[in-house]
Each structure stands twice: as C-alpha cells, then as structure tokens.
Amino acid sequence: AAWRTGLRGKPRDTRSRPKGERLRSCKQKLLLRREGRGLRSGVFSSVITLQTPLKKTKALIGEMGMTFSSAYVPSALCCPSRASILTGKYPHNHYVVNNTLEGNCSSISWQKIQEPNTFPAILRSKCGYQTFFAGKYLNEYGAPDAGGLEHVPLGWSYWYALEKNSKYYNYTLSINGKARKHGENYSVDYLTDVLANVSLDFLGYKSNSEPFFMMISTPAPHSPWTAAPQYQKAFQNVFAPRNKNFNIHGMNKHWLIRQAKTPMTNSSIQFLDNAFRKRWQTLLSVDDLVEKLVKRLEFTGELDNTYIFYTSDNGYHTGQFSLPIDKRQLYEFDIKVPLLVRGPGIKPNQTSKMLVANIDLGPTILDIAGYDVNKTQMDGMSFLPILVSISPSINPDSTTITVT
C-alpha cells in the first residue's frame, strides 16, 4: 500500500558511495520541512498553542522536545529561503534573489557553485549518510534550460522531487532523475500522501549499517490549497486571525505597505477567511504524515536515536495592514516561522526564546553528525548547545548570540 505512486521494489541508489571514511560520531536524524505558513497568521502563535490544526505534530515533536518562539528567515520568499536552508548562507552569499532562473533559482550557476556545498552534500560525501529527499525542492527545479528532471543535485542518494512549484494533483516527479507523471486520483496521486508513502518506504529499504537523513518538503499549505477529500469541510468556523494589525492602514510603514487599500471590502475579507480555512485543511494531511513517520520510527526502534526538525521556509500575511494574501515583506508575519525539534538529549516541553534563523539549520545538523562546521563557508551557526542544554553564558533575550 505504501507504493501508491506506482513504484515497485527498492529504487536503485543512483549516487556513488563516498570513498572517505565515515565519521564515527554520525547519528541518525530526520528533518521535516513544510511550505510557508507564518506563526503570526494563526497556525502557530509565539508559543505553540491549541490554535493550530497540527495537533499531532505539536504533541509528537513540540511537546517531546523544544519549541523556538523566535525563529526567522532572512528572505520571506520560497526559493531564496530554501537556498538558505540548504547552504546555511544569507541570500547575498548564495545569490538566489527570487523564484526565477534569472534570479539563480535552481539555475546552472546554482547547480555548479552552491549544490556541491549544501549540508546534505556534506552529509553524503563526508559522513557517509544515506540521504533522502521528497517533495518541493526549488521553484525552478526541472526547467529544461537547467538540466530538466534528469538533474539530481549532488548529495542525494534517493530523490523524489516535484517539478517546479507546489501542486497537489496533475504534477510530475523526478524519481532519481526519471520523470513520473501523476493525475488526479486521490488514492494514488494526492501529493502530501505520496510523499508520506515514499518516505515510509525509504525507512523500510534503507541500510541499517549507515546513518540516514531525510528531508520531506510538502506543498501544503501553499496555494492552490487543495485539501484531501476527507478534510475539505473541516474548520468551517475558523477565520483569519483578527490581530491588532488586521485591516488597518500601515501609515507609518514603508511605501509598498502603504499602497494597500484600507479598509478591505467584505468580499476581500471573505476571500482571506476562505483561503486561511483551506490552508488549515491542507495541513491536516501534513499532520497525518508526521504521525505516520514518528510511529514508523517508534516501531523500528529508531525514534530515540533520531532528531526531527519541523519548520518552514517563510510566513504569510492574511490582511495584516490590509495586505492581500502573500509574503515577501520583512515584517513579523512574513519572516517568522515555526521551529520544533526533538531528539536525543533534548528534554521535552521546552520553549526557547533564542533568536535562530533558517541559516542555522544546516550547521546544527552537521554539528549533530560530528562534522566541523568551521570547514564550511556557512553564515549560520549551530544551535545544538541550545537543544541539549542552556548555556549560562547565553542570554535568550539578547539579539546578539555567542556560543562558546
């Protein structure tokens, strides 16, 4: 049942094994990542509350580990933010400035210069990890002018990547460099469930003699907000949050914010509420995905030796300063993201106020694997010391962070 995509058997590992000796300190870990949805837009508040459709995720990751209440991204846009996660660099250092090939999103230049130095590539080549990717990679991935779907980025042992941007049906996947089209039959094509199934399969066929790393990048809750059939009537009484900056004029904000028409029309507000509700509906399938993976790891006896990260590439606004649905702005609602982590040495039910960013994810994961982050050109820094213990030399309320 897991191979609802039509695949059968164990996919061939298309990447050559590293010749170097694997670090003995490598551990198993799993990174879960989802498409953009900000804390301030209601899925998460500054501390995870019951105001979220992701109750299973909150219980299985947040309550079993640490919730970061001050996690941010330097760019509130898909491709630049995803590039920062992969490289550990700020956008001005990885040169991905927008979601186009011309903006270096999965361009030939990106593939030659940045992909060999991503943290998954280091895990694969230096630490001997089995590396698995499933879902949305970069917005222009699969473009014919940049290698098409045959291109499999360096560092990935198993590759199930979506062609270009978010879809739920009628999409194409690159499966280790070979195209596989999907239609609109829920039982075999709904992308969030397909990603869950291929991920569960990987946990079944991976080698037990090597550590593994997984990155699962669902389309939800990105537009077109297509929920699974069983969830399409959920949350009928849920509305976009009416926080203090909802439907007011940003008169003291920068010029772009001031262009929004205030107040919004009733039809615009109804559209926002409907979009918000549909996003929540799509996230219920993500919640199911998290539950399935955690239960499988528990069943195989690997959960206690696995680090699980749950985060996003950007936030979102729904009516703040009368702005229509989008992101891109350097305001709290667009740059703040959820970040939940559980794993060995992390005490349950912790909340950290420490300021962290998506550029810190790669260094943290490499640190967990025992790799010296100083050997990289990453801008971020490891927050592993925060996960396993709070150092007395660190002030969680300070915007300047020094870990010694």
Catalytic residues: 78
Neighbours of 303 (CB within 10 A): 20
**Token digits of residue 185:** 């039959």
Residue with tokens 């290698």: 147
**Token digits of residue 284:** 């219920």
Sign of the CA dihedral with 167 first, then 169, 173, and 178 last: negative
Q: How far is CA 120 from CA 49, 132, 213, 313, 365, in A?
A: 32, 9, 8, 17, 9
Residue 212 CA to its chain's centroid (Å): 18
Q: Three-class SS of residue 6?
A: coil
CA 40/CA 253 separation, integer angstroms: 18
Q: How far is CA 357 from CA 9, 124, 206, 335, in A?
A: 39, 23, 31, 10
Instruction: Say whether the peptide bond before residue 324 is cis (omega within 30 degrees of 0).
Output: no
CA 171/CA 105 separation, integer angstroms: 19
* Closest CA relative to residue 36, chosen from 239, 336, 357, 359: 336
Q: Contact 118/73 with Cβ under 8 angstroms? A: no
Which runs of E-coded beta strand occur in 73-150? 130-136
Q: What single letter denotes the amino acid at residue 395? A: N
Q: At 94, phi and psi to the nearest 5?
A: -100, -10
Residue 340: strand pairing partners: 67, 310
Q: Three-class SS of residue 149?
A: helix
223: left (phi over 0), alpha (psi -120 to 50) or beta: beta
Task: Compute the half-sphere exposure of residue 124: CA atoms within 13 Å on the CB side of its CA.
Answer: 23
